Amino acid sequence: MKKKVVFYSQDLAQEHLFEYIAKHLDKKKFDISFSKNFNVKSDIGFYAENSNNIKKINSKLSFISLGGIDQGKLFWPNFWKKESWSSFDFGILPGLQWAKMWRKSSWHKNARPKKAMLLTGWPKSEAIKKIKKRKKSNLITILYAPCFETDNKGIDVVDSIRNLSVNLIIKHLPWNSKNQIKKFKDVRNNIKKMTIYAKQKLGNKVKVINSKDNIMKHYNKADLLITDESSVIYEALLFNLPSLSCHDWPMRINNKNKPRSIKRDNDVCIYTSRNNLKNKIIELLVNRKNLIQKILKKKNRHFSYINSSAKNVSIFIESYLKNKTIKFKLQPKYKINFFKSKIDNFFI
């Protein structure tokens, strides 16, 4: 009988992540499906949701992955003190930087899946193989892809480039579930306001991408990425795309909550002030070739197995089901310290 594989995807971003893995699984051996329902039983289950939202694992063999490269970064390096992976059989990590953080945190019980932590790579990175080479053009293009459209961030971007010979691609997150539609009502209204403003000021120099599109299809169309605080900063590295953000942009999920400061990713993103945004855009576009050389050095630190990341998961499953061989296994640096783990969780 075919083994039942369920990808428990809670939103489009998770679905896009899992699609790369699903395409490599042998359809003759596995019955593959996607579900939002954690109560659906499976022989093999893949999860990318915040583990705190998963009350019961109904998979005989379970895998958990990050939903985004920057997940839980307010708690780095020990992301796992906030989100426990100890109830899952295997964890999947995208690159050497995450492996380093895991080893540093391996004393914490939450950081230790039942069987092993695996370094298989970031499944989405295989998108590079299908991206067509960009046609040479004299037109400069900026991709604007924020996490939360609040506090006139998008309007700042439009005002900064309205007098420049620059095209703008706008890609917002899809708020597709009923809970998200209700929770992010302010954000959706802000998006509508911002896109209308962009079309008024930029005319045919702006293109708004369907929010449900896989953003991996659009990085290669741009010369510069502008965002606030998002995993797109890391994914852009795969396409040698420099990232820019404003350190004084507020971060919040609506127009009422008290904002927090942006959590900087200085290793992979360049920061400026919103008042200096136009000048910084011009500077970065002029020096883009030098920026690319720096990106090339960082890419392999954050992403492993760039051309075979999703395939590695299918290789692992085949090997493990056949003879229990655990490929891509990371070795912990420390033994589990249950007492220290309990104390650490108390102060979250």
The sign of the dihedral angle between the CA atoms of 179, 74, 274, 172 is: negative
Report d(CA 348, CA 343) in Å as an integer: 9
Q: Average model confidence (pLDDT) for the chain? A: 94
pLDDT tens for 55-104 read 999 999 999 999 999 999 999 999 999 999 999 999 999 999 999 999 99
Residue 127 pLDDT grade (very low, low, confident, very high; cuts 50, 70, 90):
confident
Look at residue 135 in the predicted model and tell me its pLDDT.
67
Look at residue 266 in the predicted model and tell me its pLDDT.
92
Look at residue 175 in the predicted model and tell me its pLDDT.
79
Show the tokens assigned to 210.
């369907």
Say yes or no to pLDDT of 133 above 70.
no
- List for the chain the helix, strand, coil content (%; round to 5): 40, 15, 40
Residue 161's φ and ψ, nearest 5 degrees, are: -115, 0
Say yes or no to pLDDT of 138 above 80.
no
Q: Which domains does the chain have, with CATH numbers?
A: 3-122+304-346 (3.40.50), 128-302 (3.40.50.2000)
Look at residue 182 in the predicted model and tell me its pLDDT.
84
* Cα end-to-end distance, the chain, whole Å: 45
Q: How would you write 78-122 as a 3-class SS string?
A: CHHHCCCCCCCCEEEECCHHHHHHHHHHCCCHHHCCCCEEEECCC
Look at residue 346 in the predicted model and tell me its pLDDT.
72
Look at residue 348 in the predicted model and tell me its pLDDT.
66
pLDDT tens for 178-233 read 777 888 899 999 999 999 999 999 999 999 999 999 999 999 999 999 999 989 99
Residue 337's φ and ψ, nearest 5 degrees, are: -115, 95
Task: Choose among 250, 223, 42: nearest CA to 153.
Answer: 250
Say yes or no to pLDDT of 137 above 80.
no
Report d(CA 51, CA 84) in Å as an integer: 6
Look at residue 99 in the predicted model and tell me its pLDDT.
98
Q: Following CA atoms 139, 143, 149, 154 in sequence, which dihedral angle do they give, to the nearest 10 degrees?
A: -20
Residue spans of alpha helices (H) in the chain: 12-22, 96-105, 153-161, 178-183, 185-202, 232-235, 277-286, 288-302, 309-323, 338-346
The sign of the dihedral angle between the CA atoms of 316, 321, 323, 326 is: positive
Mean pLDDT of 160-166: 95
Cα-only R_g, the chain: 21
